[in-house]
Structure 1
Amino acid sequence: MQSKTSSFNRGMWIQSMRNVGWIGALYTLILLFIVPLQIILRYTGEVNKDGVYTERLKTLFEVSGSLQYLFMFTVPVVLAIFLFRYIQTKSAADYIHSLPISRGVLFWQNVLLGIVSLILPVIVSAIALFLIKDSVNVDDLYTLKLILHWAIDTIVLNIFVFAGALFAGMFTGMSILQGAFVYILFILPAALVQFFIMNINFYWYGFATNYYSGQNIQNLVPFIRIIDLLDAGKESYLSLVIYTIVACMLCFIACIAYQKRSLETATHAIAFKWLKPIFIYGLTTCSLLLWGMYFGEVKDSFKWLIFGYLFGSLLGYILGHMILAKTWRVFRKWKGYILFVAVAVVIGIGLKVDVFGYSTYLPNQEKIQSVYFGEEGYSLTDNPKSHDIEQGDYYKPPYYYSSRDTVNFIRALHKQIVKDHPTISKREMQSGDAHEITFAYNLKNGKKVVRQYRIREADYEAFYKRIIETPEYKNHSYYILEPDNKNMRYVTEVQIDAMYKKSEPITINDPNKIESLKEAIRTSIQNQTYEDTKTRQQSWSSIDFMDGNGQRVDSIPFEKSYKEVEKWLKHEKMFEDARIMPEDVSNVVIIKNKDHKTLQPEWVNNPSTVTKRKGALTIKDSKQIDYFLSHTTIQEHGDYIVVFRYKNSSPDVQMFDTSMIPTEIKEKLK
């Protein structure tokens, strides 16, 4: 029985130092090795002739960053485990708590020792960085400000991870589970959200899985969030304050739990009785969602989804009881599982019936302010700050159509998809016969409605035609058509690189010619029909718009339907260099695809396997060669195999439909 307590115990402090002092010392050596020493090795001595040592550091986390993060997320955890190892061992817990020291004093004394053990190595390394600063070869490789930023960031985040490990340790009686729980604690929120999103996709038709998955879920994981911030050098005082506040909260909760936990819970998996059912059913729920998602995605079947639920829930429930009981003999505890299954079935039926009307909801026309429509739904959650214009990484924000006609046409397509509810297999998605389409409505009341579907575009050609041929759609499907395009202002050069022509690309530097070419491209695009956009014809060449740094701002194919571009090139006497010409071709060999095979890799690698077949027809007439050049395709299926033998390039094998072959040639191939 404790008769007297003290606010500080020197003996316990010395004993704890003996237990964990080696961790602080080892961490000091590690930090000195992976930061100051690495800078000395890389940036001192004789500068080589290639000028390797030229770039200044944006952040000190660029130096052995992966190792810094590794130890940032492990050393504080190991330290917390060793500091409170005594509460996980029954004999040690009985002895320590029989001493005349209150639990509160014990807790905060150990916390203080842990924080000191994490701060001192960083301070020592920061001093070393300051001392070697002027000895490196690069002027201002790093500044005192960068050292302070690095030290403060490392200290705050070390303490944050340490606090998480303390928090986890107070709710378990096993050190190994303390280490596991702390990482689960950091990952669990994001994992649960992701599991829920992936499973909802099987219940609500049109649920925008990719959109909600991209809504910064990774920011819920401290590991990813911290690394992203530190790598980019974009950490803010606000984020540091938030991590500090959370660390303080975790420490205070851990202190309360430490004072209330029973000594008998040492070696128990869970330290509090009320937490055991939460642990079991939480593990069961996570396992249910995980395995349901896995089997549902892999087999693309609702039946397999249900199998995954049964398998996952049973596995999680049994595993939870085994961890608590520390034995595999737990198969008699089935009543709780039956109750869990009953609740899960009720929730599942509610989701499947769609009591909220999610799958059939379509915003009224008068409530729509604008709408996004496209296959690249990721752009809705793309972060502009992740793009670096200086490195040629230009950001194109998602465009929301607002003209009345375009919005109505898009909504009509959406309405028809909801009505048809097409069933698309994973095979169709993989083969390209179907694709994913995203609708995102900005409503006048400030709300947003996002839906995603898998469809076959061929089933909705009439709807697509109306949308794609609107001026607004074209204006915002091509950089070059955007009236206020900010990226195009960086263009200083245009390169036109012809397909299958080994000559150097055409280079245009004259600003007036660049502008007139842009205008020809704009007119060609505006004159394009939906049918033109869906042809599988191969383009003549690529037109690349380059900035002053030689980075590509935009690339536009010179399509065979671009008559205005063709006219411009002929006027500038560039047309023959901008496309493959009949005189660049030795001959064209055509043979009927009697077996109806798709384009085979061996044909491409060894075209002679096609040209030497019986019945092959060789064409050398320049007009006929030009005809076939004008109809080259990128399709993999066709009634005829056509081999182009180029004079200055490797042969090319393509597939042509019967409608693309002139009648007189068909007669010869019978």
Structure 2
Amino acid sequence: MSWEVRTMQSKTSYFNATLFRKNLTRFWPLWGLASFIGALFPLAVLLDMVHRGWNVLSAPDFTGMYYDAVSAVPVINLVYAALCAMAVWSYLYNARSVGLMHTLPIRREGLFLTNFLSGLSMTLIPYAVTGVLCVVVSLCGGAFDAKGLAVTVLAVLGESFFYFSSATFVAFITGNAFTMPPLYALLHFLAVLLDWLISSFAQGFIFGFSTYYTGVVEWLSPTVYLVNNVRCARQYVEVQQTFPDGTPYTSRLLTSADLESFWLIGVYALVGLALAALALILYRRRRSETAGDVVAVGWLRPVFRYGVAGLCALLGGQFLYSLFWYGFQQGEYYDTLPMVVCLLAAGAIGYYGASMLLAKAFKVFRGSWKGLGIVLAGCALVCCVLHFDLLGVADRVPEASQIQTLEIRIADNTYTLTPEKDADLLEQVRALHQTVVADESYVREMEARRSSTWSEDETPNTAYTGLNLTYTLKSGTRIDRWYSLLITRDRLAQPETYDYLLDQFVNSDTVKARRLHLDDDFWTVSGGSLYIDTRGEGYELGSREGDAILKAVGRDLTAGNWGDYDWFSGDSGSSYAMDLGLDFESADKERYDWISVHVTPAMTETVDCLERLGLVTRADLVTYRQLYPEDYGADGSSIWQEVPHTGENAVVYTEDTTSAMVSPA
């Protein structure tokens, strides 16, 4: 007789429908409130269409709104996906809850997949509700666009999956509910934060380094990178229309909308898949006893300890230095030894603070000298590398073949040079840059001397000027340099000095013409303005008047009555009491520029032109010093504000590619 009892073979289940429904019903206020908020936007569009007409919005208009929403999804999901992840994985942070969940007849793979899908569903429900309402509204207005809707759905799915996966990954790194949000934020913004911290710190050591943010590894900060690169590009056409009274006007009609860099969302979705797989691996090996720990993964504990120490050293060290030593600093750059001390103090605080969080106790000092020694050695090493510029950052002057554009800001003027059009000028600037770098010790000595005297007063034979260089390389890399340079009359006559090279560049005939966009097909005069102080009256100038005035200033330039920059003079009262401005428009009508010309008695061509146009009379030709004698000193400079070092005849301010303050020889 056989006593065997037949039993049913159990099957391995990777999904539990009961738990899935439980999560959705338990956390319905979260996705319900988000759905309600999302539904307000299509309802607002519907109300606008009811008031203005059902056909007021076209299919491209709706598509543009969809793509604008896609551009905003990273910011929304950064918060909302994290809330959904914290909801479904909240049991991991309590010892009793995690013990109960792990006693259920569900494998960890099943728990992971069920909770992951339920959390992802909660993330997507508000978008689904909002999307359905948007489709209904677009159908009501006869503006449905299937392609735009499909692209939007795929984009929202990809972005939501990535953000929920990244939040899930962080949820398995930590066992503490209060630690999860800051670690999650750090994961998304660590690259940007380090870029800013290291760049700002390096400025205090490296000669001429003026970059606050390089953006080289911005792709490691997904939210910043997606917001900056995934955007809606709209195409318009100009349409002639008329008002009800018959007055014609030109309007812009949207013809199409495209989502730029859509492929990036696919890349981050694949990254999200990798993070989800890594989270599953961590979950399979996770010990239930780690509930409540700041870091639940053993091999990440040293990374957390030294990472916090490094961040505290960079951020706290600069704070301590500015608090206790910045006022005693000599020159523009950090004093190395005090900075090392401040970094050591801040790094030690960060090291022991992280150790206390990991140990959940205050007694962490015994046997910690080795780890502390590593932190202190790292701080000293960073300062030495920057102080001695072992990476050669200060000496770097890009080769002409590497440069795409070079923007130079000097003498209150900005010029953009390209190798194709400005090869000679580009070489001049490169030679100037190399000379400044070679004179680093002299420049630093002059800066320190200026700082130690607590005065910015300059003699008639000296002046300070700022030199800013921005290289954009063909590789996409951007290099920024800024120098505060002392100009002396003696060195202006010495060809091997940067003083001489600066003067040769700024006062060359080619650069003078560039200030006025002369013989420049890219810019055309679109108008301008003129204000007469003696009469308190202003005029708006048309394109023809502006073009005539510009040509007159150009003739003054050719005659030598306008354009030479005087590095030392402070006379600002010899120009006529009028404000003359000219506006420029680029050939593609996408960029605008302006110049403000201070007219002086030597500029006879410009004065004659203004008189012929009937804009000024002889009675208006009064200088500022004659009109406001009480506002000027014996040397002609204003007593109310420090003025730039200009000559007596003309000043030009501009934006974008031409911003100059100049004077005749």
- Scaled to the shorter chain, the TM-score interval is 0.7 to 0.9
Q: What is the distance in 1 between the residues matched to 2:154 and 2:393?
A: 47
| Of 149-158 and 419-428, the range deviating more from structure 2 | 419-428
1:201 Cα offset (Å): 2.1
2:566 aligned counterpart, secondary structure: helix
2:19 partner letter: M
2:529 aligned counterpart, secondary structure: strand
Q: What is the distance in 1 between the residues matched to 2:534 and 2:23?
A: 74
- Residue in 2 that maps onto 1:308: 342
1:340 partner letter: V
Please tell me whether residue 564 in structure 1 is matched to residue 564 in structure 2: no
- Residue in 2 that maps onto 1:317: 351
Question: Which of residues 548, 551, 554 in structure 2 aligns to 1:522?
Answer: 554
- Residue in 1 that maps onto 2:239: none
Q: What is the distance in 2 between the residues matched to 1:500 and 1:68?
A: 56
Question: Which of residues 509, 519, 534 in structure 2 aligns to 1:471?
Answer: 509
Contact 1:436 1:454 in 2 (8 A): yes
Q: Structure 1 residues 206 and 177, CA, compared in 2 at 3 Å: closer, same or farther?
A: same
What are the within-5 Å matches in structure 2 for residues 117-136 of structure 1?
117-133=122-138
Q: What is the distance in 1 between the residues matched to 2:622 and 2:57?
A: 49
1:44 aligned counterpart, secondary structure: helix
1:581 Cα offset (Å): 3.6
1:243 partner letter: Y
2:138 partner letter: K
Contact 1:5 1:100 in 2 (8 A): no
1:454 aligned counterpart, secondary structure: strand
- Residue in 1 that maps onto 2:523: 487
Q: What is the distance in 1 between the residues matched to 2:532 and 2:129?
A: 60
1:486 partner letter: F
2:380 partner letter: V
1:203 Cα offset (Å): 2.7
1:554 aligned counterpart, secondary structure: strand
RMSD across aligned positions (CA): 4.6
1:350 Cα offset (Å): 3.5
Q: Structure 1 residues 429 and 83, CA, compared in 2 at 3 Å: closer, same or farther?
A: farther
- Residue in 1 that maps onto 2:241: none
Please tell me whether residue 543 in structure 1 is matched to residue 576 in structure 2: no
Question: Which of residues 537, 547, 556 in structure 2 aligns to 1:503?
Answer: 537
2:165 partner letter: A
2:484 aligned counterpart, secondary structure: strand
Structure 2: unaligned runs, 5 residues or longer: 1-8, 234-258, 492-497, 644-665
- Residue in 2 that maps onto 1:245: 270
Please tell me whether residue 421 in structure 1 is matched to residue 443 in structure 2: yes
- Residue in 2 that maps onto 1:289: 314
Q: What is the distance in 1 between the residues matched to 2:120 and 2:437?
A: 60
- Residue in 2 that maps onto 1:13: 20
Q: What is the distance in 1 between the residues matched to 2:34 and 2:504?
A: 65
1:471 partner letter: D
Residues 237-268 of structure 1: CA distance to partner in whole angstroms, max 9, x if unpaired?
A: 21111121111111111111111111211111
Residues 579-622 of structure 1: CA distance to partner in whole angstroms, max 9, x if unpaired?
A: 9445999975549979xxxxxxxxxxxxxxxxxxxxxxxxxxxx
1:419 Cα offset (Å): 4.5
- Residue in 2 that maps onto 1:203: 205
Q: Structure 1 residues 214 and 189, CA, compared in 2 at 3 Å: closer, same or farther?
A: closer
Q: Structure 1 residues 422 and 283, CA, compared in 2 at 3 Å: closer, same or farther?
A: same
1:555 aligned counterpart, secondary structure: strand
Structure 1: unaligned runs, 5 residues or longer: 381-395, 595-627, 639-670
Q: What is the distance in 2 between the residues matched to 1:225 and 1:633?
A: 47
- Residue in 2 that maps onto 1:39: 45
- Residue in 2 that maps onto 1:166: 168
Contact 1:369 1:402 in 2 (8 A): no
Q: What is the distance in 1 between the residues matched to 2:164 and 2:434?
A: 55
Q: What is the distance in 2 between the residues matched to 1:209 and 1:196?
A: 10
Q: What is the distance in 2 between the residues matched to 1:200 and 1:110?
A: 45
- Residue in 2 that maps onto 1:386: none
1:107 aligned counterpart, secondary structure: helix
Q: What is the distance in 2 between the residues matched to 1:472 and 1:411?
A: 19
Q: What is the distance in 2 between the residues matched to 1:171 and 1:127?
A: 36
Q: Structure 1 residues 559 and 22, CA, compared in 2 at 3 Å: closer, same or farther?
A: same
1:68 Cα offset (Å): 6.5
Q: Structure 1 residues 180 and 500, CA, compared in 2 at 3 Å: closer, same or farther?
A: farther
- Residue in 2 that maps onto 1:337: 372
Q: Which has the higher contact order (CA 8 A, sep 6+)?
A: 2
| Of 443-452 and 351-360, the range deviating more from structure 2 | 443-452
Q: What is the distance in 2 between the residues matched to 1:447 and 1:272?
A: 37
Question: Which of residues 181, 184, 205 in structure 2 aligns to 1:182?
Answer: 184
Question: Which of residues 25, 35, 57 in structure 2 aligns to 1:28?
Answer: 35
2:357 partner letter: I
Q: What is the distance in 2 between the residues matched to 1:550 and 1:80?
A: 44
1:127 Cα offset (Å): 1.2
Q: Structure 1 residues 274 and 418, CA, compared in 2 at 3 Å: closer, same or farther?
A: same
Question: Which of residues 423, 436, 448 in structure 2 aligns to 1:402?
Answer: 423
Residues 164-195 of structure 1: CA distance to partner in whole angstroms, max 9, x if unpaired?
A: 11010111111221222111100111111221
Residues 461-498 of structure 1: CA distance to partner in whole angstroms, max 9, x if unpaired?
A: 5443212112333344x2523x344232xx44343333
Q: What is the distance in 2 between the residues matched to 1:523 and 1:108?
A: 77
Calculate percent identity across the aligned residue pairs. Answer: 17
Contact 1:285 1:313 in 2 (8 A): yes
Contact 1:207 1:451 in 2 (8 A): yes
1:466 partner letter: Q
Contact 1:375 1:435 in 2 (8 A): no
1:448 Cα offset (Å): 8.3
1:21 Cα offset (Å): 3.9
1:309 Cα offset (Å): 1.0
Q: Structure 1 residues 334 and 580, CA, compared in 2 at 3 Å: closer, same or farther?
A: farther
What are the within-5 Å matches in structure 2 for residues 358-369 of structure 1?
358-360=393-395
- Residue in 2 that maps onto 1:193: 195
How many residue pairs align between the two structures? 568
Q: What is the distance in 1 between the residues matched to 2:392 and 2:592?
A: 46
- Residue in 1 that maps onto 2:649: none
Contact 1:493 1:545 in 2 (8 A): yes
Residues 555-576 of structure 1: CA distance to partner in whole angstroms, max 9, x if unpaired?
A: 3313325443223334444442
The alignment's TM-score, normalised by the length of structure 1, stands at 0.72
1:324 Cα offset (Å): 1.0
2:266 partner letter: V
| Of 305-314 and 530-539, the range deviating more from structure 2 | 530-539
- Residue in 1 that maps onto 2:594: 554
- Residue in 1 that maps onto 2:112: 107
Q: Structure 1 residues 307 and 236, CA, compared in 2 at 3 Å: closer, same or farther?
A: same
Q: Structure 1 residues 403 and 356, CA, compared in 2 at 3 Å: closer, same or farther?
A: same
1:120 aligned counterpart, secondary structure: helix
1:45 aligned counterpart, secondary structure: helix
- Residue in 2 that maps onto 1:90: 95
Contact 2:408 2:470 in 1 (8 A): no
Q: What is the distance in 1 between the residues matched to 2:77 and 2:547?
A: 54
1:77 Cα offset (Å): 0.7
Residues 417-457 of structure 1: CA distance to partner in whole angstroms, max 9, x if unpaired?
A: 42413253798899998564234568999998754323345
1:437 partner letter: L
- Residue in 2 that maps onto 1:625: none
Q: What is the distance in 2 between the residues matched to 1:219 and 1:498?
A: 53
Q: Structure 1 residues 224 and 61, CA, compared in 2 at 3 Å: closer, same or farther?
A: farther
Please tell me whether residue 72 in structure 1 is matched to residue 108 in structure 2: no
1:414 partner letter: V
What are the within-5 Å matches in structure 2 for residues 374-413 of structure 1?
374-375=408-409, 401-403=422-424, 406-407=428-429, 410-411=432-433, 413=435
2:345 aligned counterpart, secondary structure: helix
2:517 partner letter: I
Please tell me whether residue 452 in structure 1 is matched to residue 482 in structure 2: yes
1:44 partner letter: V
1:6 aligned counterpart, secondary structure: coil
Contact 1:19 1:83 in 2 (8 A): no
Q: Structure 1 residues 347 and 235, CA, compared in 2 at 3 Å: closer, same or farther?
A: same
Contact 1:61 1:68 in 2 (8 A): no
